[in-house]
Amino acid sequence: MANNARTKRSRQFGLGLVLALLMTVGIWPVNVTTGNASPARKGPIFDIIPASTNPTIPTSAATAGTFVLTGQIYEFGAVNQSTCALRAGFDQIGTWTATVVITPAITNPDSLLAPSTVSRFQMHHTLVLDLLPGTIEVGGVNGLVASNGNARPADPNFQTGPTVGPAEVQTATGGSFRFDGLDGTATILPYCGPSLATLATTPPGPFRFDRAFCISINQARDLSLQR
């Protein structure tokens, strides 16, 4: 029992160091730009694997239909971005839950996504991070692509392989414990997408949270001042 307790404390300490590093130096898969706004501070970033038992949400889902998605949260880098598989040696650090309400049709003029007037997801995400500890709240509508959020090869050395992106943006609306006062932009980057050649002829629609992704926060305020 003593060894298990020491192992858990060591794991928590290691996660804290990883988080502190990410929040200090900013290791990001994509940077979000918002016109002439001042650059946001880099915040936490996590990999998320949706549960295989989640409902499949059809594009024909009726307006106001409600769905609940869940998944496991891992340290950034735990998921292979080409295959969406979990790498060996990583433990779950929290639980992701998202409530989805189907919107009425919304016109999507963004050239990075398939032109459409289909319904989208009005979302509320809750990330419960048991080992840090803390919670993060994120909300918004899917399908809003970051200004520099183009899809790119998951492996820079394999240009014809799977892609990550396009990167979509929602809003970080709050948090608790370690993330008390968190606000800013949440960037959502889908993993293991089609090749660039496929995307050139068949642009994707808004991300439907049906495969692994990462979520990162560009903070509007410096949480380090609160510690």
| Tens-place pLDDT, residues 160-219 | 999 999 999 999 999 999 999 888 999 999 999 999 999 999 888 899 999 999 999 987
Tell me the average pLDDT of the chain. Answer: 82
Task: Select from 50, 37, 67 the least CA-distant residue to 147.
Answer: 37
Name the percent of the chain lying above pLDDT 70: 78
Output the pTM of the full model. Answer: 0.81
Looking at the predicted structure, is the pLDDT value of residue 8 above 90? Answer: no
3-state helix, strand, coil in the chain (%, to 5): 15, 35, 50
* Residue 148 predicted with pLDDT over 60: yes
In the block, tokens 């709240």 appear at 137
Nearest-Å Rg of the Cα atoms of the chain is: 18
pLDDT surpasses 90 at 4: no
Q: By mean pLDDT, which of 81-85, 115-119, 125-129, 179-183 is the weakest?
A: 115-119
pLDDT at 133 over 60: yes
Number of neighbouring beta carbons within 10 Å of residue 51:
12
Q: What is the pLDDT of residues 59-101, one digit of tens each?
A: 888 999 999 999 999 999 999 999 999 999 999 999 999 999 9
Report all structural domains of the chain as residue ranges with CATH numbers, in order of start. Answer: 2-222 (2.40.480)
| Closest listed residue to residue 167, CA positions, set 122, 204, 128 | 204
pLDDT band with cut points at 50, 70 and 90 for residue 39: very low
* Strand, coil or helix: 196: helix
Query: Coil, strand, or helix at residue 159?
Result: coil
Predicted pLDDT at 36: 28
Predicted pLDDT at 227: 40
Contact 74, 56 (CB under 8 A): no
CA distances in angstroms from 153 to 32, 75, 138, 175, listed in the order given: 18, 21, 27, 32
Cβ atoms of 187 and 152 closer than 8 Å: no
Decide if pLDDT at 21 tops 80: no
pLDDT (0 to 100) of residue 41: 60
Q: What is the pLDDT of residue 116?
A: 74
pLDDT at 29: 45
Query: What are the C-alpha distances in Å from 146 to residues 30, 165, 184, 185?
Result: 9, 10, 14, 10
Dmax over CA atoms of the chain, in Å, equals 58
